[in-house]
Amino acid sequence: MRTRLLPLLPLLHLSCNKEPASTPRSPIDLSTGTHVVLLGTGTPNADPDRSGPAVAIVVDGAVYLVDAGPGVVRRASAARLDVKRLNRVFLTHLHSDHTTGLPDLWLSPWVLDRPTPLAVYGPPGTGELVHHLAQAYRSDIERRLSGFQPSDTTGWRILATEVGPGEVYRDDRVTVTALPVDHQDWPVAYGYRFQTADRVIVVSGDTRPTETIVEACNECDVLVHEVYSDAAFARRSPEWQRYHGGAHTGAADLGRLAARANPGVLVLYHQLLWGTSDSALVAEIAAHWNGRIVSGRDLQVF
């Protein structure tokens, strides 16, 4: 007797187109206005205090995620976000440290009664990634749907939309724009700009200093940007210097970029510290820009 397999192929849509911050453990009301919650500020390095890259833009209680690094759902729960409302994510690129939390983001909220599919927006290759995830977790989903475990019958679905530069999403709370950035040998990588009724937020993703980030920010309220310490970079091997110099943004370059973009606050994430302290990293940037700089930590809110 052959086991009946449920059709789990995802729907794929192709389109061309300097001061401390408070944490969610303080009584911050995320149900109104626009907030930035750092769910993960880490890198591929196994730092137990920093989950993988993930940023939540919370608009009147609705959650819009940028990237899904390891630990994203548990960090969202720690931030007091309703995991049943985790149903949209915008991928900057497909490096593993930005995507290995995707199965968790897809399936854990469904098991916890999310009724809606997970919508995944990202660069070319996102559809293939989602397709293979659906195949990998096929048996798990079948057992949960057809076994004895109570389960929602719609929230297991995952929908992939491959996007081009420009506006990629709009609803009555937010407009999201994909920004082409330069991340070494990735042919397509994005940052994202979120415009709401009260704030403009720009998240860089992984990138070298990029003019599109300056233009998209243009005195935005919050610029969340990756960075590495220049002092620590000088101690790296030539091979790693060649890679990081072409893939990421050094502190001095970020200071000069911020001087042109002039955000209300520059929030650092995906920090490559290599033994440098957060305060020393901030000082490297502050030598080139005298605005507000925060070296972000997981669960901070801006």
- Token representation of residue 220: 């935005």
Determine whether 212 is exposed, middle or buried from the number of CB atoms within 10 Å of its CB (0-12, 13-18, 19+): buried
Active site residue 29: no
Residue of 7, 33, 19 lying closest to 293 (CA atoms): 19
Closest-CA residue to 176 (of 191, 161, 157, 158) = 191
- Beta carbons within 8 Å of 88's beta carbon, 6+ residues apart: 63, 64, 65, 118, 119, 121, 169
What contacts 17, CB < 8 A, 6 or more positions away?
A: 163, 164, 165, 166, 167, 168
CA separation for the pair 59, 81 (Å, rounded): 12
Largest CA distance in the chain: 71
Q: Which member of 67, 97, 104, 221 is catalytic?
A: 97
* Distance of alpha carbon 181 from alpha carbon 246, whole angstroms: 12
Q: Residue 250 has what DSSP assignment?
A: B
DSSP character string of 176-218: EEEEE---TT-S--EEEEEE-SS-EEEE--S-SS-HHHHHHHS
**Residues sharing a CB contact under 8 Å with residue 95, sequence separation 6 or more, in sequence order:** 186, 206
Q: Which residues are catalytic?
A: 97
